[in-house]
Structure 1
Amino acid sequence: MSSLSVIIATMDREEELYRCLDSIRAQSRLPEELVIVDDGALDVEALRLRVPQGVEFQYHRKSPPGLSASRNLGARAARGEFLLFLDDDVVLEPNFIEEISKIFQEDRAGTLGGVSGVIVNRRPRPRWFRAWAKIFFLDRGRPGELFPWGFFSEIGIPDRVVDVDWIPGGLSCF
């Protein structure tokens, strides 16, 4: 895989962000760059100490707050060929970046739009929501389906690479 930049938008969630950064530092394949866009007031030097050695670091403080604007700023500032967007509370498995790199390398036809991972600590949907989804055909059996009316089906926890219509914004690589 060519160069990869990790972009994290954050606001006033220092402990969660530190756990996220620790999981990046523990990766079997490190990113080339880490871009943090802060809508709050984090201690930049404390952040810098958590950045793995050899990884370029960019910090941008911005106002007013807004997740989409923060991600867009991070994307414009990043220099990597591939951009991995993480929510500040995401904790990656130690081989996550290595595994998504392999998926992009195997895409010889160049048809891959993006890659995500499995969010394992999500709370399951309440029983009433699952029943409602069945009644209104929001779960037609294909994981990650985006319906014409704007709803989408759950991706679940696949045991292989699956083709989906959408991926979660807080754990996505393009």
Structure 2
Amino acid sequence: MSAAPPVSLVIVNFDREVSLALLLKSLEYQRYPNFEIILVSNLPPERRPDSPLPIRWITFTQRNISAARNIGINAAQGEIIAFCDDDAVPEYSWLGTLTRAFETPSVGSAGGFVRGRNGVAFQWKCALIDRLGRDKRIGLPDQSIRVFPASSDRALKTVGTNCAFRAKPLRDIGGFDEAFHFYLDEADVNIRLADAGWDAAMVPLAEVHHGYAEGPYRNNHRVPKTLFEIGASEAYFVNRHSPDAALDAHLASFTANQLKRLRVLFQNGLITERRLTFLIASLAEGFEEGKSRQQRLLQPAPPPNAAFAPVPRNPSPQPPVLLVARPYQPRPGIRRRAAAAAAEGREVTLIEPEYSHRNLNVRYDVQGFWVHRFGIAGFAERDAPRPLLPLAGRIKAEINRVAVQRGLDCGSL
């Protein structure tokens, strides 16, 4: 494989033009020199975000994530096909770091770590999934790439907002199974690739920030609107990959776990008792639907007419820009400096400390730069002790936390 093999980045979008605009802005700064963007979306042209990037838009209006991804696979021309959600923002180094996994010839798929909506806590790290759809979390000793050999009973689980596959093996196994409209779609691919003898890799430093924007199945607080598709996918997955299992007993256990989760939402005032009853009923209806679903794999299509159109690389890359605001400094001035540097194509990180109890929050600004905001007495992580460092120490600690991903150095601060 070449030093920078061609990558096709497939993004599936349904209605979410605001979060999509943020993702597309971030992709202007991806360091990887050889990737195209394929956007499978229901948005009409007048609602599509403006972007200078060479995007291949493909209209698709069905609410079926697997079918949409298969359309992207058929359109892809890269040796590697990567996926990212439309409510996510990858680090500048994401694609380049993720694709290093494929330097190992036996690796057919790779995934990375995912940070949650506050930009700090991890939403996803590393887990194996068995043939009953059950996760087993795996702790990694360091940040190096770890390869998991193919196994007949479980596979490394990749998540759709941060994963990549060799194009040929992915097509050889039939791409995504369109019987999975939502949920367990990637896990099914992971199992089938392992069955075909392909190893999988976890790349901790290939990071994506995932915001969980509202969609057809849950709101932006991760409260489900329906559990029908989750139920259908759960029943179908077990039927497909563990046909000798006691299905009804497994689904009863799955229902109990879902009910436990819903009761927490009820206790926190996020759903009513009536809504809880509806959601459990929708789960049961989904089970019945899933029991009768049949496999629907990728249908091969003629080669795409459009040529591989890589995102232009910055012709004169410069060192990343690190800006640190003073606690009482007016924000508009330093944010204008950050926006101006980003407009020049620079990778910009803006640190905004303050004398308060505000917890650390990291977000990506639509003008093209990262903003890290925190109070000196605020928590850096949800379960961490309250920090006792002075202001300069807090600033250096935060810069060091992302130094590898961003290429930053706080030695001169």
TM-score by length of 1: 0.74
**Superposition map of 1:100-139 within 5 A:** 100-105=98-103, 107=104, 110-121=105-116
One-letter code aligned to 1:85 = F
Tell me the residue number matched to 2:305. none
What is the alpha-carbon distance in structure 2 between the residues aligned to residue 33 and residue 124 of structure 1?
A: 28
Equivalent position of 1:151 in the other structure:
134
CA distance in 2, matches of 1:113, 1:41: 35
Correspondence for 1:8 among 8, 11, 16: 11
- Cα 1:155–1:15 change in 2 (3 A) is farther
In 1, distance between residues paired with 2:139 and 2:69? 25
Q: CA deviation at 1:124?
A: 7.2
Contact 2:17 2:48 in 1 (8 A): no
For residues 150 and 20 of structure 1, do their structure 2 counterparts lie closer, same or farther at Cα, with a shift above 3 Å needed?
Answer: same
Higher strand share: 2
Give the distance between the partners of 1:29 and 1:60, measured in 2 at CA: 23
Identity in percent:
23
Structure 1 distance, partners of 2:10, 2:25, is: 15
| Structure 2 partner of 1:162 | 146
TM-score by length of structure 2 reads: 0.33
- Change in 2 beyond 3 A, CA 1:155/1:26: farther
Structure 2, unaligned stretches of length 5 or more? 149-155, 166-413
Task: Quote the residue 1:71 is aligned against.
Answer: 69
Map of 1:172 onto structure 2: 163
Find the aligned partners of 2:38 and 2:109 in 1 and give their Cα distance.
19
- Encode CA deviations 1:65-120: one digit per residue, 9 max, x unaligned: 32111101011011111101111112110011111232222x1xx11121111101
- Aligned-pair CA distance for 1:152: 1.1
Question: Do the aligned partners of 1:8 and 1:35 also contact (CA within 8 Å) in 2?
Answer: yes
Which structure is larger by alpha-carbon Rg, 1 or 2?
2
Matched pairs, number = 149
Tell me the SS of whatever aligns to 1:28: coil
Q: CA deviation at 1:166?
A: 1.4
Does the CA contact (< 8 Å) of 1:3 and 1:81 recur in 2?
Answer: yes
Within the candidate set 74, 79, 82, 1:81 is matched to 79
Partner SS, residue 145 of structure 1: strand
The residue that corresponds to 1:129 in the other structure is none
Letter in 1 for 2:146: V
In 1, are the aligned partners of 2:42 and 2:61 still within 8 Å (CA)?
yes
Per-residue deviation at 1:11?
0.6
C-alpha contact (below 8 Å) 2:17/2:47 kept by paired residues:
no
For the residues of structure 2 that align with 1:96 and 1:79, how far apart are their CA atoms?
20
Deviations 1:19-64 (A, max 9, x none): 11122111111443110000343537644x241xxxx431111132
Whether the aligned pair in 2 keeps the contact of 1:44 and 1:59 (CA below 8 Å) is no
Structure 1 or 2: more helix by fraction: 2
Verify the 8 A CA contact 2:20 2:49 in the aligned structure 1. no
Match of 2:92 in 1: 94
- The one of the two structures with greater contact order (alpha-carbon pairs below 8 A, sep at least 6) is 1
Q: Do the aligned residues in 2 keep the contact of 1:17 with 1:89 (CA within 8 Å)?
A: yes
How big is the shift at 1:121?
A: 1.3
Structure 2 counterpart of 1:172, which letter? C
